[in-house]
Amino acid sequence: MKVQPRKEDSKGIVDALRRMASRLGRTPTSLEFAAAESRAYRELYHHFHTFVAAVEAAGLPAVTFPRKWSRAAVVDELRRLDELGYVLSRRKLIDRGRHDLVNAAATYWGGMTNARRAAGLPPPPRGKRGTSRWSEDEVIAVIKERKGRGWPLSSSRVPRMLRDAATYYFGGWREAIEKAGLDYDQIRLKRAAYSRYEILNTLRALARTHPQMTLTGLHRHRLKSGIERWFSTVDEALRAAKLSGWPRRERRQPMLTATETRALIRARRARGLPMFRTAVLRDDPRLERAGARNFGGWLAALRAAGVEVVSSRGQLTKKNRR
């Protein structure tokens, strides 16, 4: 008879952890425990949710790992590699097997860009140049040159390399523009949010220049977002602007009744117009909606009007062949 190996209970696992901690002089890691006490390690998760819970049950201090990196260590290592001629980009460092440094830069500085900036190092070269031509002075000089030539200076219309360099040295495109002595609000393509005063004045101007504007047209105007910011409804904004009778309110035609729908279907048939749904939807969407509303669908509306249901191919449908 084959003897089954004895299964460890929770007490046996705890005792094994304590014995190993006494031997090592510290709390063992999960990998160390698995290598030395494989049977107990296999049974551990049947009795404890995690290895940490087993360590706590054994009354041992939490496992501590030696911390290699810190903010200062990341900066020092970047400066050392820069002196050795390393290209300090994320991809180049990974290619050289420095995943640890890249991960540490992300953990302690939020990424390689912030870590390089903290180390006082320039951005890595781009493209085929081999060296980066950007510096704080160069960024400002290019911005002023574009201004002098009348070229656009909004962030979406400048070269990406210039925008990235501005972000690196000044923290953002707006900061670089202001550092160059320019007004950022004057060059941005997307205007600043409307103030309440501007909304009311613009509404009055629209009423003067576009007296035939409809309410739908006003809803489609770029002013709509500003109205929603300062007023709960468009009507509230119009009252604040002391406007009445503007914009025009379009009246919707009432829904056709079942009798009117049948009459219009017969009249359309008498004129020899196509009766399939897509043609009606193109020519008279109100009639098609009435057919769906009153009879549950266009085919049902045709049958209710006593009209042969013809497909787009000019053939009777199966229900009308009977």
On whether residue 145 sits in a domain, the answer given is yes
On whether residue 151 sits in a domain, the answer given is yes
- The continuous run of DSSP H or E covering 104 comes out as helix 99-109
pLDDT value for 263: 93
On whether residue 200 sits in a domain, the answer given is yes
At 301, list the tokens.
């509306």
Is there a single domain that holds both residue 285 and residue 306? yes
| CA nearest neighbour of 105 among 87, 122, 117, 97 | 117
On whether residue 4 sits in a domain, the answer given is no
Question: Would the pLDDT of 125 be above 80?
Answer: no
Question: Would the pLDDT of 66 be above 80?
Answer: no
C-alpha 87 chain-centroid distance: 31
Place of tokens 């009606």: 280
CB contact set of 128 (below 8 Å; sequence gap of 6+): none
Q: How far apart, in whole angstroms, are the C-alpha atoms of residue 63 and residue 27?
A: 6
On whether residue 65 sits in a domain, the answer given is no
Q: How far apart, in whole angstroms, are the C-alpha atoms of residue 274 and residue 312?
A: 8
On whether residue 313 sits in a domain, the answer given is yes
For range 72-98, the mean pLDDT: 83
On whether residue 220 sits in a domain, the answer given is yes
Type of residue found at 11: K
Q: How many domains does the chain have?
A: 5
Rg of the chain taking only CA atoms, in angstroms: 38
At 11, list the tokens.
């007490």
Q: How far apart, in whole angstroms, are the C-alpha atoms of residue 261 and residue 302?
A: 10
Question: Would the pLDDT of 312 be above 50?
Answer: no
For range 223-245, the mean pLDDT: 88
This prediction's pTM: 0.30
On whether residue 30 sits in a domain, the answer given is yes
% of the chain at pLDDT higher than 90: 10
For range 135-154, the mean pLDDT: 85
Percentages (nearest 5) of helix, strand, coil residues in the chain: 60, 0, 40
Q: Cα 246–252–256 angle (5° rounding)?
A: 170
Q: How far apart, in whole angstroms, are the C-alpha atoms of residue 75 and residue 66?
A: 19
Q: How far apart, in whole angstroms, are the C-alpha atoms of residue 292 and residue 301?
A: 7
CB half-sphere exposure, 170, CA atoms < 13 A: 21
Bridge partners, residue 214, by sequence? 248
| CA nearest neighbour of 42 among 62, 67, 12, 22 | 12
Is there a single domain that holds both residue 267 and residue 314? yes
pLDDT value for 100: 82
Average pLDDT over all residues of the chain:
81
How long is the chain?
322
Give the residue numbers spanning the domain of 208. 196-240
Which pLDDT band holds residue 320 (cuts at 50, 70, 90)?
very low
Q: What is the pLDDT of residues 200-222, one digit of tens each?
A: 998 998 888 888 888 888 888 87
| CA nearest neighbour of 283 among 273, 269, 271 | 273
Which pLDDT band holds residue 310 (cuts at 50, 70, 90)?
low
Higher pLDDT, 309 or 239: 239
Is there a single domain that holds both residue 208 and residue 174? no
For range 230-243, the mean pLDDT: 90
Higher pLDDT, 212 or 31: 212
pLDDT value for 129: 44
